[in-house]
Each structure stands twice: as C-alpha cells, then as structure tokens.
C-alpha cells in the first residue's frame, strides 16, 4: 500500500460525459491488479473531506487510468485537473478478480460505469482464455464499451443493441455461454448484480462481482462498508478489505 501524490498526465473524454483520467504513478501501476481500487483524495482542503474509491480502469507502463462521470463535488474537482496537477492516491486496496481459475471463457457483464474495471481486466486475462462482454444500460447514454472486447449490448429502451436488460441478453445467448466452461465477472448497479447472482446460481456458473459501498478509509479501520456474508451471520464482511470483488455466492446482495 502506498500514499502517493501523482501527477495527472491527461484527461480523456469519452462519449456520454464519461471521463478517463491518466495519472503517472509507477509505484501503483507496478502492483495493482484488475478489480483492486484506489482511495483518491482530490483536494487538500476539507471540501470534500474524504477520499473517494475508484477501481483501477487500466494500466499502461507507469500510468494508471481511472474512469468516472461528474456526479458530485469530488468528481467535479477531478474533472478539472490539468496536466501536472497532482492527485493523492492511496492503494492498491482490496482484492481484485481471480483471473487464473479453471474456465475457458471470461464473461464480462457490465452495467453503466460498472465497465470501469474491465479494460485492465481484458489486458491481464491469460492468453488461453476467451472473452465475451455483455454491456447494459437503461438507454444508449449509459452504455460504456471502452477497452472491452467481443461486445454485446443491451438497453432497457432498445435505443442501442438488444432491447431488454443485460440479463435478458445473457438468457438470449445461453448457447454461446454453454460452449465450454465460463466464469462471469460483473460490476454495475446493485439491482443488476442481484439479478446476476440469481442467473449464475440458476445456471450453475462461477461468478465474481465487484461491489460498491460508501466508505471512509478504504483499508479496514473505519468499518464503514459492511456487506452481509452468507457464511457468517455474526459478522459482516468489509467491502474495502474482503472485497470489493467477491464470489457472488459469498455475499448477500
């Protein structure tokens, strides 16, 4: 774990108000794994006070990339960072995706900004595995395909790709999914993750999900990010330390 002030190299504007910020941080780029996250302090002032968690979006040499959209005070400040200005990174934090399991095809299921961790994931997936990406959104404005491969798209309103939810799209493609052993890797809104859990259990697929939570510290001391565990009713798991990536069967969504 490091706390480093890292200079911004560039901010890339994607479609639909999605931004990707490129930051020079050799300490973190050499250690971070897909699905791990950074707790980012965007300002030295007390406004905003807390760090904000961002999963690592991509890594290129000594640079790391974070994906976000401008939602509140923190992301507004982040969006205005110019080249050479620094942001304060704490990480790498948490547990990332387990890419080395016994499976032939990695099935990415991403909803909205849930696409954020997957560009780096796609890069790091072992060569002998295939990738299919299912990307969903309410409308075409929410569909993010940056850095993904072999993409199938769904929108609730049919404005882009398949009309329906991403789960409907998965159900529509069971034939493809059932060619060889698959493992689902998913990130997105909680309602989608709940549905993914049901879908994975029903079809007996392995599945890892990356979940979000409000948190303060990001490394286990504030106890602010509990998630109910299926194995131990007496104790919560922590999103920051035990996750943010969980086997979908281990947590209550």
List residues near another protein by CB under 8 A.
1, 3, 41, 46-51, 90, 213-217, 219-227, 234-236
Q: Give the nearest distance from C-beta 79 to another protein in angstroms.
A: 18
Q: In this complex, which beta carbon is closest to another protein, that of residue 10 or of residue 190?
A: 190
The four Cα atoms 99, 103, 104, 110 give a dihedral, to 10 degrees, of -60
CB of 173 to another protein, least distance (A): 34
SS3 category, 40: strand
First to last CA, the chain: 28
Phi/psi of residue 215, each to 5°?
Answer: -155, 160
Residue closer to another protein (CB basis): 176 or 217:
217
Of residues 2 and 198, the one with the C-beta less far from another protein: 2
Minimum distance between the CB of residue 46 and another protein, rounded to whole angstroms?
4
Which is nearer to another protein, 91 or 161 (by Cβ)?
91
Q: In angstroms, rounded to a whole number, what is the distance separating the alpha carbons of residues 7 and 65?
A: 12
Q: Nearest-CA neighbor of 13 among 51, 59, 74, 69?
A: 69
Q: How far is the CB of 221 from another protein (least distance, A)?
A: 4
């Amino acid at each position: 774990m490091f706390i480093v002030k890292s200079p911004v190299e560039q901010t890339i504007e994607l479609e639909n108000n999605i931004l990707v910020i490129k930051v020079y941080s050799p300490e973190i780029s050499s250690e971070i794994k897909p699905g791990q996250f950074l707790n980012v302090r965007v300002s030295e002032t007390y406004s905003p006070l807390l760090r904000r968690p961002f999963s690592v979006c991509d890594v290129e040499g000594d640079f790391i990339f974070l994906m976000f959209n401008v939602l509140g005070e923190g992301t507004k400040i982040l969006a205005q960072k110019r080249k050479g200005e620094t942001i304060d990174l704490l990480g790498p934090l948490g547990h990332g995706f387990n890419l080395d399991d016994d499976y032939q095809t990695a099935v990415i299921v991403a909803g909205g900004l849930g696409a954020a961790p997957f560009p780096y994931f796609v890069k790091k997936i072992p060569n002998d595995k295939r990738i299919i990406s299912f990307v969903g959104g309410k409308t075409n404005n929410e569909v993010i395909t940056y850095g993904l491969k072999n993409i199938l798209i769904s929108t609730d309103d049919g404005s882009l790709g398949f009309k329906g939810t991403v789960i409907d799209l998965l159900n529509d493609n069971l034939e493809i999914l059932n060619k060889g052993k698959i493992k689902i890797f998913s990130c997105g809104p909680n309602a989608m993750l709940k549905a993914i859990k049901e879908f994975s259990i029903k079809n007996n697929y392995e599945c890892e999900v990356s979940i979000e939570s409000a948190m303060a510290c990001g490394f286990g001391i504030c106890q602010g990010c509990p998630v109910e565990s299926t194995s131990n009713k007496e104790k919560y798991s922590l999103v920051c330390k035990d996750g943010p990536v969980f086997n979908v069967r281990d947590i209550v969504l």
